[in-house]
Structure 1
Amino acid sequence: MPLLQFDTTVAATDDERSAFAAAVTDRYADRMETTTGHVAVVIREHPPANLSLGRSEGGPLLFLSADVREGRSPEQRREFALSVMELAAERLSIPEANVKVVFTEHAGEEMMGVDRVGDDWSPEEG
């Protein structure tokens, strides 16, 4: 039951935001070995002065705060992070150096929907 929150300086159209969210959801499910029905994506746009990244190359920025269930390997998290950076470059013209991804892991029972409380993730879940 991940919550993927993007903060960006890109002013995208509704169609661009929807397509980006759908692509992120698919990549998350693929890299994290899960289904898409419970993936939540938030995209917040900010004026350029509201976001800063010391090592940026200039131009638009995009930060992802990814709240996920604990249990994925560092390699899985890295693969997903790199795929988001690639997607941001392709779809939103954000230099890869201007993308930052931070993961926060939660026990399954800390992630809830109206119809269920999450459980621990395991590779067999996929």
Structure 2
Amino acid sequence: MPSIQVDLPLDVTAAAKRELAARVGKTYAESMQVNADLLTVSVHDLGPGGVWRCHRDGDPTPSALIMCDIRSGRPLQTRAELAQALIDTCVELFDLDRLWIKVEFTQHSGDEMYHPHLGGFNQDWTGDERR
């Protein structure tokens, strides 16, 4: 863990996906106080009409979705700051309407993600892990 999946309502070049992954990795590592080598980023460019936000009344709006699977323990404010930074990155790189970019967090204990480069399961988050 962690992993971040970004679903975009447009077609994206490999270079733009790489730039997004690099920026998300840097932002995540700084915000969540970890080394970036723990993070996996997947970018799903679903094309025009690929992601929609439904409304109570009226037609759906083109949208984007960012799913963050993280270790539990981060304060609400830390997660809010990360969410806003991820939204800002998508707005800057892809000119998306920030109002329709949704960020969801799923929190896990450390032993729910296996990292071969760590020699096994991760540990629970305890604080600043950057080394």
Per the normalisation by structure 1, the TM-score is 0.90
Q: Which residue of 1 aligns with 2:39?
A: 39
Contact 1:5–1:64, Cα closer than 8 Å, also in 2: yes
Give 2:71's match in structure 1, choosing from 57, 69, 90.
69
Q: Deviations over 1:19-70 (max 9, x none)?
A: 0110001000011111101100001111333321136995x53211110000
RMSD over aligned CA atoms reads 1.8
Matches within 5 A, 1:108-119: 108-114=110-116, 115-119=119-123
Q: Which residue of 2 aligns with 1:8?
A: 8
Q: Which residue of 1 aligns with 2:109?
A: 107
Identical columns (%) = 26
Matches within 5 A, 1:57-96: 58=61, 61-96=63-98
Unaligned runs of 5+ in 2: none
* Partner Cα distance (2:2, 2:108) in 1: 9
- Which structure has the bigger radius of gyration? 2
Number of residue pairs matched by the alignment: 125
Secondary structure at the aligned position of 1:119 is classed as: coil
- The answer on 1:123 being equivalent to 2:127 is yes
* Partner Cα distance (1:54, 1:87) in 2: 23
Secondary structure at the aligned position of 1:122 is classed as: coil
Q: Which residue of 1 aligns with 2:28?
A: 28
How many Å apart are 1:122 and its aligned residue?
Answer: 1.2
Contact 1:57–1:97, Cα closer than 8 Å, also in 2: no
Comparing 97-106 and 8-17, the one that deviates more: 8-17
Per the normalisation by structure 2, the TM-score is 0.87
Secondary structure at the aligned position of 1:41 is classed as: strand
* Partner Cα distance (1:68, 1:99) in 2: 19
